[in-house]
Amino acid sequence: MVNQDKAPSKEGVLFWFRGLGFVGYTETMKEMQFRIEIYTSRERVWDTLWQDETFREWAGIIDPGTYMVGDLKEGNEVQFISAENGYGVTSLVEKLTPGEFLLFRHHADTQEDGKRERAQEWTGGKESYSLAEKDGTTTLTVAFDVPPEMEEYFKVNYPKALERVKVLAERKK
């Protein structure tokens, strides 16, 4: 089961969510946090999160057709792009401890498969993945900034995505 926690608000941001038609200015961004227990090793969960084939499977639940371009190395930029509409976000890998922790800082919203910048959506936001293992069970905690208007969408869809990570990681045994 996925647990969802709320965190304090952030400063205002202009947003546009891919394919959902929300556009406007919001006074705050909320940090959402989700946690799930996965009955396999931390390394297996990490691989499930970031290997291309499995990444596409779980991330596609949030935004259909999403894929990642770039290498996960601290200091590198990676792009998350929607195959459906070519919109995406370019993110800095701000902190990386392989198998344990990853922090993205979103710094450019893009279109045309990452070739052009567009109106800011998630620019300035952060997204983190933390993994902790105890007795063969991995706790995956994901936290990210979201406009309040998108909170309900993520409350519904992010737990489904994490359940998919769980199924994929446990199936790999």
Among the listed residues 30, 42, 23, the one whose alpha carbon sits nearest the alpha carbon of residue 172: 42
Cα–Cα distance for residue pair 118/140, rounded to 1 Å: 32
Backbone angles phi, psi at 76, to 5 degrees: -80, 155
| Per-residue b or e along 132-147, where b marks 16 or more CB atoms closer than 10 Å to that residue's CB | ebeeeebbbbbbbbbb
Q: How confident is the model at residue 10 (pLDDT cuts 50, 70, 90)?
A: very low
Domain count of the fold of the chain: 1
Task: Write down the pTM of the prediction.
Answer: 0.78
Are 78 and 70 a contacting pair, CB within 8 Å?
A: yes
Percent of the chain with pLDDT over 70: 71
SS3 1: coil
Residue 62's domain comprises: 3-171
CATH number at residue 56: 3.30.530.20
Q: Is the dihedral of CA 158, 159, 163, 165 positive or negative?
A: positive
Cβ-based neighbour number of residue 27 at 10 Å: 11
Q: % helix / strand / coil in the chain, to the nearest 5?
A: 25, 45, 30
Q: How confident is the model at residue 109 (pLDDT cuts 50, 70, 90)?
A: low
User: When comparing pLDDT for 31 and 83, which is higher?
Assistant: 31
Q: What are 51-77's pLDDT values in tens digits?
A: 999 999 999 998 888 899 999 999 999
Range name among 48-57, 69-78, 122-131, 164-173 with the lowest pLDDT average: 122-131
Averaged pLDDT of the chain = 79
- CA distances 121 to 37, 107, 169, Å, are 30, 10, 31
What average pLDDT score do residues 4-16 get? 39
